[in-house]
Amino acid sequence: MTPVPATHLAQALRHRRYPLTGWPWRALAYLLTSVPLAGVLSLGLLVVLAPLVAAMNAVRDGRQVSLALGVALAIGALTILALAPLLSVPVSAFERYRLGLIDDRPLPRVPWPGLTARYTTSAAWREAGYLFFLGGAVPVAYWLFAGLVTLDVLLIVSPFMVRPGDTVVVLWNTAETPAQAAPYAIVGVLLLPVLWYAAGALAAGQGAAARWLLRRDPDGAALHEVTRSRARLVDAYEAERRRIERDLHDAAQPRLTNLGLQIGLARLDVPDDSPAARPLDIAHEQAKSLMVLLRQIVRGIRPQSLTDLGLAGAVRELAEDSPVPVEVHADLPGPLPEAAETTAYFVVSEALGNVARHAEATRAQVRLTDTAGDLVVEVTDDGRGGADPAHGTGLTGLADRVAAADGRLLLSSPTGGPTVLRVELPWSG
């Protein structure tokens, strides 16, 4: 099956290769495993719905609702409201686990908060709301989808149902021969991909509702303070990085250059057969090597090309230096924040280095785009694939660098390729 770079089903549905991937089968597994659970919960809701429907019919017919019916309705409703926060504990735990079928972003486990919290917190009542969603809305949606599937199957088999002298009703028309039913069978076959996508959309919608209702309540004040602390750390790091870069560039480099020049001049004054000639040659070479190393260190802090050319120009310079042919496509609104540009540059640098060293690729492609306030970097190659952070290809350090910038790194690298590395860095605001 063809992989797509997606972390959840709704994202995979937007990819044109979706029907050929494993995502539709994951969606189907999610739907099928929902059936028994939703069926049991819907039966529980009937305890309340049956008296409620009877009471509504009595009111509609102008009859008085009997006391027994009212008592049954009240007892059923109160029982369900009393039990729902407790029954939702095992159901929500199982649903958080089962959500992994269609969503690779795990929902954290919620520890038992205590009996009182099951009736006093918004998270507990959201979980209870998921019970009603799973037992009420989900069965209705599934029955509608099952009806569409049944109708499509009938269209496909309609030519085989026609017998000589019989008439078969197909939709709003009748067919007396297999030839007359054949167009409906063709339509049914053409609708199969639509139903395949519809099943995925149904599972994605249910998964989105589950994720929203079962999410854990964050501590708003603590989360705000963590965000502010991260911002302070990043700002402090950037200030310190600029100071080190300035000191190396303005102080250490000129002195080292002057030292190499003085050693070179001293070597010119020493005869070749002098005992001091050899040590001076070695010292001169070491001074030049140290100068190269210092330039690499300064470049590693913030490349000068990034300052002079901007992100797109600096990436094109990296592409020109790569031993593998690289195409660069940049669609950026203009200058970006320094932290985002620096992170993106080193992402491309590390990725192209991995392509050259490990991928055995014949070509690569780099895309830089701005999507809804996120700087998106995609590096694709046609190599052998199989990239794994556990194999020491620098991906773990790269992921740490991206996480420090509050971004995320996505990787798709099946055996045989292609490899797609995608990094999303927020920069607006």
CA distance 132 to 76: 14
Does residue 319 sit in the same domain as residue 344?
Answer: yes
CA distance 338 to 326: 24
Buried-exposed string 94-127: b where 16+ CB fall within 10 A, e elsewhere: ebbebbebbbeeebeebeeeeeeebeeeebbbbb
Residue 397, in any domain of the structure: yes
Domain boundary among 252, 282, 301: 301
Q: Say what percent of the chain tops pLDDT 90.
A: 4
**Contacts with 51 (C-beta within 8 Å, 6 or more apart), sequence order:** 69, 72, 73, 76
Q: Starting from the edge strand earliest in sequence, which strands make up the sheet with 374-381, in order?
A: 326-331, 364-371, 374-381, 419-426, 408-412
Residue 378, in any domain of the structure: yes
Domain CATH number, residue 320: 3.30.565.10
Residue 3, in any domain of the structure: no
DSSP 340-359: HHHHHHHHHHHHHHHIIIII
Does residue 354 sit in the same domain as residue 279?
Answer: no
β-partners of residue 326 are: 364
β-partners of residue 376 are: 369, 424
**Contacts with 266 (C-beta within 8 Å, 6 or more apart), sequence order:** 280
Residue 186, in any domain of the structure: yes
What pLDDT score does 220 carry?
A: 46
**Contacts with 31 (C-beta within 8 Å, 6 or more apart), sequence order:** 142, 199, 202, 203, 206
Q: Using pLDDT thresholds of 50, 70 and 90, give the confidence band for residue 222.
A: very low
Does residue 89 sit in the same domain as residue 230?
Answer: no
Structure-derived torsion over alpha carbons of residues 298, 299, 302, 306, reported in degrees to the nearest 10: 140
Residue with tokens 């000191």, as numbered in its chain: 247
What pLDDT score does 366 carry?
A: 92
- Determine the distance from the C-alpha atom of residue 354 to the mean position of all C-alpha atoms in its chain, rounded to a whole number: 22
Does residue 105 sit in the same domain as residue 243?
Answer: no
Give tens-digit pLDDT for 254-308.
777 777 778 777 777 778 777 777 877 787 788 777 776 666 565 555 666 777 7
Q: Which residue segment(s) compose the domain that 374 sits in?
A: 305-426
DSSP 245-296: HHHIIIIIHHHHHHHHHHHHHHHHTS-TTSTTHHHHHHHHHHHHHHHHHHHH
180-184-185 Cα angle (round to 5): 105
Residue 254, in any domain of the structure: yes
Does residue 85 sit in the same domain as residue 229?
Answer: no
Give tens-digit pLDDT for 180-207.
767 777 888 888 888 888 998 999 999 8
Q: State both tokens at 73.
A: 């309705």
**Contact between 3 and 412 (Cβ < 8 Å):** yes
Residue 103, in any domain of the structure: yes
Residue 81, in any domain of the structure: yes
Domain boundary among 239, 269, 301: 301
CA distance 129 to 210: 10
**Contacts with 394 (C-beta within 8 Å, 6 or more apart), sequence order:** 350, 353, 354
Does residue 230 sit in the same domain as residue 196?
Answer: no
Does residue 144 sit in the same domain as residue 257?
Answer: no
Domain boundary among 254, 286, 301: 301
Give the amino acid at 258: N
Does residue 182 sit in the same domain as residue 247?
Answer: no
Does residue 282 sit in the same domain as residue 313?
Answer: no
Does residue 84 sit in the same domain as residue 65?
Answer: yes
CA distance 303 to 297: 9
User: Which run of H or E residues covers position 177?
Assistant: none
Higher pLDDT, 85 or 326: 326
Does residue 189 sit in the same domain as residue 316?
Answer: no
β-partners of residue 421 are: 379, 411
Count of structural domains, the chain: 3
Mean pLDDT of the chain: 76
Report the chain's terminal Cα–Cα distance, integer Å: 40
**Contacts with 383 (C-beta within 8 Å, 6 or more apart), sequence order:** 355, 358, 359, 360, 361, 362, 417, 418, 419
Strand pairing report for 364-371 and 326-331: parallel
Give tens-digit pLDDT for 97-126.
888 888 877 676 666 667 777 777 777 888
Does residue 396 sit in the same domain as residue 330?
Answer: yes
CA distance 120 to 125: 8
Higher pLDDT, 314 or 83: 314
Higher pLDDT, 392 or 199: 199
DSSP secondary structure letter of residue 20: G
Higher pLDDT, 229 or 319: 319
Higher pLDDT, 429 or 363: 363
Higher pLDDT, 169 or 307: 307
